[in-house]
Amino acid sequence: QLLKTVSAWRQPLVSDDWHDDPHGTITDYWLDALPAIAAEWHAADARHAFARDFERIVGDVVVPHVAILLRVSDAELRERIAFRGRAAATASDVFNDIPSPTAGQDVGQTAAALGRLQDRLERRLRCPVDRCRRAPKAVISIAADDLAAAAAEATAAVEAML
pLDDT for 76 equals 93
Measured over the CA atoms of residue 112, residue 140, residue 133 and residue 57, the dihedral's sign is positive
Beta bridge partners of 69: 141
pLDDT for 109 equals 86
pLDDT for 152 equals 95
Instruction: Please give the chain's pLDDT, 162 residues, in tens.
Output: 788 989 998 988 888 777 777 767 777 888 888 888 888 878 888 888 888 899 899 988 888 888 899 999 999 999 888 877 775 556 666 665 565 555 556 888 888 988 999 999 999 888 888 888 888 888 999 999 999 999 999 999 888 887
Task: Indicate the DSSP class of residue 90.
Answer: G
pLDDT for 99 equals 59
**In whole angstroms, what is the distance from residue 50 CA to residue 161 CA?**
34
Contacts of 104-108 with CB under 8 Å at 24 or more apart are 107/78, 107/81, 107/82, 108/78
- pTM of the predicted structure, to 2 decimals: 0.77
pLDDT for 84 equals 75
pLDDT for 142 equals 95
